[in-house]
Amino acid sequence: MSQIKMLSHVDDFPSSPGKFKPDKSLAYIHRLRIQSSTSKLTVYLTVILSLILFMFYLSPQSSSRGVPGTRRALGSSLYSSLAVSWTGELERRVRNSAQVKSNSETRHVVLVTGAAGFVGSHVSLALKRRGDGVVGLDNYNHYYDVNLKKSRQKLLEKAGVFVVNGDLNDKDLLDKLFDAVVFTHVMHLAAQAGVRYAMQNPSSYINSNVAGLVNLLEVCKSANPQPVIVWASSSSVYGLNSKVPFSEKDRSDQPASLYAATKKAGEAITHSYNHIYGLSITGLRFFTVYGPWGRPDMAYFVFTKDILRRKEITIYEGADHSSVARDFTYIDDVVKGCISALDTSKKSTGSGGKKRGPAQFRIYNLGNTSPVPVTKLVSILEKLLKTNAKKKLLPLPRNGDVKFTHANITLAAKELGYQPTTDLETGLKKFVKWYIGHYQEKKSSW
């Protein structure tokens, strides 16, 4: 606990002995006593409140279940200093989660960042089910409903995956994680997501997508042995490109949003760490991933919620009323691509930050190769929900969104064996089934 300094105003005291008036001395002394009592009371209350918070954060119930939603208001810095105190119990749970099944063929020990997120939770479950050791890391930020993240975390806990509640920018925590476990791989999926939110809170993108990435790479480069890194870039790096489908060889220096710019910066940063420190790094450019347990800020999720509530939905159009289209990619297909990227990665060539030779550096598109107009997405949802949507058509705003995305997956198919198999209607049917089941269950518990 930081020291509390009590300051008294100079005006509370007489300016000089000569100006002190005896007839006012009793009143002056009385006033000092009142101020002293008030100051002491303030100190006592501050100490008591700090102790209550400290005990709350270190209680077994709070530490074993992840972060309750009320903690987020206290900020990540307070959480780093109090909640993530490296205890023997925390280390034990981390080590247990990292254990590999004796009959596992892969025997990877993977740190998954953003493990309570959409893609992160699915990847963590898939790795654990096949026998890999998995430790999660997530800061449970409140960009969207924290309760959804906590629900994902409960699924992970049942599967034997422990998620540490902490931030990428907490270097001490990362150091302790890497001291406790020798990670063979890092699946870095944590990021500040969303294109439009960058106009409201740009610093969150720099803090997470750039500073957080660098902090993680710093720890990985110094590890001995160094882990292999697979991380989530984004199709947004193609920005204002008009050539389709998007290929990894195409230019990606025209970002249309700050989010895209931070992901492109991430690709440049990872390349430099690969070149200097011998880290084996694979970047995956995701194309509009959707499915059960998805992000509530995504169009398909918002449309589903509003159609069921009979609320008007906004559909954006390009110039001349042309349709906006996305290369929607089902979550199961993306998970297969992520795991294949792990399995086909070569080892890092550095040791304790010293490069021993050239290391592998790869970038792949993970898309579905079949862009679908958003208007068709809505019509599929109307069919599945058996409800007609109230539609409002508006021009695409200048908020960072692009008119279309379309993935060329030739390279991923050749080198990763990546082959998406889920069409949009099939994937949306699975999502709608999950959505109705999940939120009806939530309502019944209210």
Q: How far apart are CA 191 and CA 165, in angstroms?
A: 15
**Please, which residues have CB within 8 angstroms of residue 6's CB and are 6 or more apart in sequence?**
39, 43
Element spanning 88, H or E = helix 88-97
CB of 1 within 8 A of CB of 52? no
Task: Find how far residue 327's CA is from the centre of its chain.
Answer: 22
Q: How far apart are CA 214 and CA 168, in angstroms?
A: 9
Phi and psi, residue 104, nearest 5°: -70, 135
CA torsion angle 364 366 370 373 (round to 10): -110
CB of 335 within 8 A of CB of 123? yes
C-alpha count within 13 angstroms, C-beta hemisphere, residue 286: 24
372-373 and 325-326 strand pairing: antiparallel
Catalytic residue status for 273: no
Identified catalytic residue from 238, 259, 273, 330: 259
Distances (CA, A) of 99 to 65, 127, 160, 294, 342: 20, 12, 10, 28, 18
Q: How far apart are CA 87 and CA 81, in angstroms?
A: 13
Element spanning 230, H or E = strand 228-234
CB of 393 within 8 A of CB of 323? no
Q: How far apart are CA 110 and CA 98, in angstroms?
A: 7
329-330 and 289-290 strand pairing: parallel
Tokens of 286: 């995701």
Distances (CA, A) of 254 to 244, 288, 365, 371: 15, 19, 17, 21
For the chain, the straight-line distance linking the first and the last C-alpha, in angstroms and rounded, comes to: 39
Residues marked as catalytic? 259
